[in-house]
Chains A and B, each alone.
Chain A
Amino acid sequence: MSFPWAKVYEPKVPLMRWLDEKLPLPRLVYNAVGAGYPVPRNLNYFWNFGVLAGFCLVLQIVTGIILAMHYAANAGVAFHTVEHIMRDVNWGWLVRYAHANGASFFFVVIYLHIFRGFFYGSYKAPREMVWLLGVVIFLLLMATAFMGYVLPWGQMSFWGAQVITGLFEAIPLVGPPLKTWLLGGFAPDNAALNRFFSLHYLLPFVVVGVVILHIWALHIPGSSNPTGVEVKSESDTVPFHPYYTAKDGFGLGVFLIAYFLMVFFLPNYLGHPDNYIEANPLSTPAHIVPEWYFWPFYAILRAFTADFILPAKLWGVLAMFSSILVWFFLPWLDKSPVRSGHYRPLFRKFFWFGLIPTMAVLFYCGGAAAEEPYVMLSQIATAYYFLHFLVILPIISMIERPAPLPFSITESVLGEDDGAASAKSAEAAA
């Protein structure tokens, strides 16, 4: 689909005309990310993160495939092959640091992309499917990242795998045998390492598939924008190329500067020193912490410390998975017809003074040791997290009086819109 004023692909050279008749791939690209895709003219820099996430995915696949050429998924030698990559493979240290920090930057980008969606109401009709597919991608990325972190077979790899697969034990009746089946043993060992490697290689390509669906679903209604007002006329849009390719190019440059600063000067800052100790099932690290991007969810898991009908551990597991599953229902929990947080005074207050501090507290407590006051802080934050999405948002959307919306994107940018004026006078005449 597209808007009626979208530019139409016209191959100029005979070869491209020939190709277009047989396989209109250039036409597809032209309509997807070229001049054939009209995009609202008022997007701010928060709209860069979709393209950046796509870039990160490609970066991780390319560096990952190179690493797989030198890595061996065998519990006896995995740690050694990683050191082999660091020491003996030409530029191996660069590829490995690029991959490890690439995962972190992927999550930075994804979290900012999700933040954009939360604030500007990108999940609302008609883009529910875009949002649902996005949450699926996020879950796949979490699984992929978790299994990737196990592969170097350091102490945190091993004990992280132990803790996370141990969550399945909390499931009543089938839990313990299910965990043994998933791991291929009673504890993480060679069988688990092998299947994690296999899946870590597979899942990114599943992500590529879902990303294609995500973009396809986006192109049905077209991109949202900071006002949340739908596109009404040609003056509201500009072609994706060259306008947003140029803007994304600049965004990519800024991203790469930050990324390579970490890769070249602080490559281990986001990692854990214990992962430079080879996995040892007989020695438990003092504090088992996952990678930073899992900290908020780890805090929710650990916040449930009291049995109530169900065992505390099961509550923690249910809450941790539910904390992301609620995102699937967001389009139906928040029924306010106004998308953008800019025009929702009450929503905005709870967003900035409720959700954002809550996420910061959960993030901090998830990385801290499981002791007071961090447990108590994460309990308060966890309670607010669920209240925010499941109770406060639905109630806000019923009682809030939104601020007046601009008539159109053009009006919001220029202060006036000729098309809008004539539409208004037509309304007045009627």
Chain B
Amino acid sequence: MIRFIGIAVGLVFSFVVMLAFVIGAYTAATEPTPPTAEHEFHLHPEPLKLSSDGPFGKWDTQQLQRGYQVYKEVCAACHSLKFVAFRDLAQLGYSEAQVKALAAEWTVPGIDPNTGETNTRPGMPTDYFPSPYPNDVAARAANNNAVPPDLSLITKARHNGSAYLHSLLIGYQEQPAELVEKFPDSKTGVGLYYNPYFANLNIAMPPPLHEGSVTYADGTEATVDQMSQDVSAFLTWTAEPSLIKRKQTGWPVLGFLIFATVLAWFAKKSVWSSVKGRKKA
């Protein structure tokens, strides 16, 4: 009885789904989905090699410091970094005194200890990076109705994050004439910028980096490509400060496990040696 009901149920489900298949196939044949500009012109990020990549990766603290400078002098005008505290900068190779000095360069919201009124004060190592806008509404109002995303986790929040960021920052270009010809509706709008690495090709952020936007203390030439690589490296660090510690912890753990597993294999062999004649199946 169960089998007869089962066969009936199975046939019903298969019939309905095959009906959907036939309708779908007919629709696909008669009204093929029109191609979109995103589909044809979107580019995957170019590969980017950072010193922190790979199982043996290490931080390049020089590069992270340069990236921090790019964030501070360029990105921070619009983008917050709310999960990172100034104290974390010690990881970039700064001394305790340097971290204090770096924190004091920032202005953070505070409370007047005498009156209780809100005011501002210089940052301390325990403070988190302040947001450039008091709230999302203000951010939206100042940026053509687009909220600049927080950058703390940006390289983990995008596929192939650091490479994506690098390609995006150097990827601004004129919209191809071919695109406008083929998709007249997809012409880049007012206040938007064409960038083939951005998901919908038109990004609200103006090209942020220009030749010499910052002056590096270590004498590195501040090309757009260099600054973009440096800030990608810095934001790889902000997304996961424990990245290198994680990889370095992994090796001894794996080493121990491989050793223990080899021992377990011999233990198993020795235990089973008394069971005779295990024929290969």
Q: B7–A379 contact, CB under 8 A? A: no
Q: Is B156 interfacial (CB-CB < 8 Å)?
A: yes
Complex interface: chain B residues within 8 A of A265 (CB):
55, 247, 250
Complex CA–CA separation, A224 to B174 (angstroms): 68
Q: A413–B277 contact, CB under 8 A? A: yes
Complex CA–CA separation, A375 to B258 (angstroms): 43
Contact residues on A (Cβ < 8 Å of other chain), bracket: 35 or more
Interface bits A313-328 vs B (CB < 8 Å: 1, else 0): 0010001001000100
Complex CA–CA separation, A250 to B257 (angstroms): 11
Complex interface: chain B residues within 8 A of A322 (CB):
9, 13
Complex interface: chain B residues within 8 A of A253 (CB):
257, 260-261, 264-265
Instruction: State the Cβ distance, B158 to closest chain A Cβ, in Å.
Output: 6
Query: Which one of B20-28, B181-189, B211-219 is at the A interface?
Result: B20-28
From 28 to 78 in chain B, residues with beta carbon under 8 angstroms from any chain A beta carbon are 28, 33, 55
Q: B277–A414 contact, CB under 8 A? A: yes
Query: Which one of A57-65, A179-187, A381-389, A421-429 is at the B interface?
Result: A381-389
Q: Is A234 interfacial (CB-CB < 8 Å)?
A: no
Q: A379–B21 contact, CB under 8 A? A: yes
Complex CA–CA separation, A268 to B240 (angstroms): 11
CB nearest to A283 among chain B residues: B147
Q: A306–B247 contact, CB under 8 A? A: no
Complex CA–CA separation, A97 to B245 (angstroms): 14
Query: Which one of B108-116, B201-209, B268-276 is at the A interface?
Result: B268-276
Q: B279–A413 contact, CB under 8 A? A: yes
Complex interface: chain B residues within 8 A of A412 (CB):
279
Complex interface: chain A residues within 8 A of B240 (CB):
86, 93
Complex interface: chain B residues within 8 A of A94 (CB):
246, 249
From 377 to 411 in chain A, residues with beta carbon under 8 angstroms from any chain B beta carbon are 379-380, 382-384, 386-387, 389-391, 394
Q: Is B141 interfacial (CB-CB < 8 Å)?
A: no
Instruction: State the Cβ distance, B20 to closest chain A Cβ, in Å.
Output: 4
Complex CA–CA separation, A265 to B3 (angstroms): 48
Complex interface: chain B residues within 8 A of A326 (CB):
6
Q: Is A277 interfacial (CB-CB < 8 Å)?
A: yes
Of the residues A97, A254, A306, A391, contact of B16 by C-beta under 8 Å: A306
Q: B13–A319 contact, CB under 8 A? A: yes
Most chain A CB atoms below 10 A, which of B152, B153, B199, B239: B153
Q: B246–A306 contact, CB under 8 A? A: no
Contacts A303-B17, A322-B13, A386-B13; is A264 near B250 (CB within 8 Å)?
yes
Contacts A226-B281, A257-B254, A329-B2; is A250 near B153 (CB within 8 Å)?
no
Q: Is A267 interfacial (CB-CB < 8 Å)?
A: yes
Complex interface: chain A residues within 8 A of B33 (CB):
371-372
Q: A382–B3 contact, CB under 8 A? A: no
From 229 to 269 in chain B, residues with beta carbon under 8 angstroms from any chain A beta carbon are 239-242, 246-247, 249-250, 253-254, 257-258, 260-261, 264-265, 267-268
Instruction: Point out residues on B near A: beta carbons under 8 Å.
Output: 2-3, 6-7, 9-11, 13-14, 16-21, 23-25, 28, 33, 55, 83, 88, 149, 152-153, 156-159, 161, 199, 239-242, 246-247, 249-250, 253-254, 257-258, 260-261, 264-265, 267-268, 271-272, 275-279, 281
14 contacts between A and B (CB under 8 A): A44-B281, A93-B240, A93-B246, A226-B281, A257-B254, A277-B149, A308-B16, A319-B13, A319-B17, A335-B3, A376-B24, A382-B13, A390-B9, A412-B279
Instruction: Point out residues on A near B: beta carbons under 8 Å.
Output: 41-42, 44, 80, 83, 86-87, 93-94, 97, 226, 238, 242-243, 246-247, 249-250, 252-254, 256-257, 260-261, 263-265, 267-268, 273-274, 276-277, 286, 303-306, 308, 312, 315, 319, 322, 326, 329, 332-333, 335, 371-372, 375-376, 379-380, 382-384, 386-387, 389-391, 394, 412-415
> What 8 pairs across the A-B complex have the smallest Cβ distances?
A390-B10, A264-B250, A253-B261, A306-B20, A276-B157, A379-B21, A383-B14, A250-B264
Starting from the known contacts A87-B83, A261-B254, 9 additional A-B residue pairs (CB-CB under 8 Å) come to: A264-B253, A306-B16, A376-B21, A376-B24, A383-B17, A387-B10, A390-B7, A390-B11, A390-B13
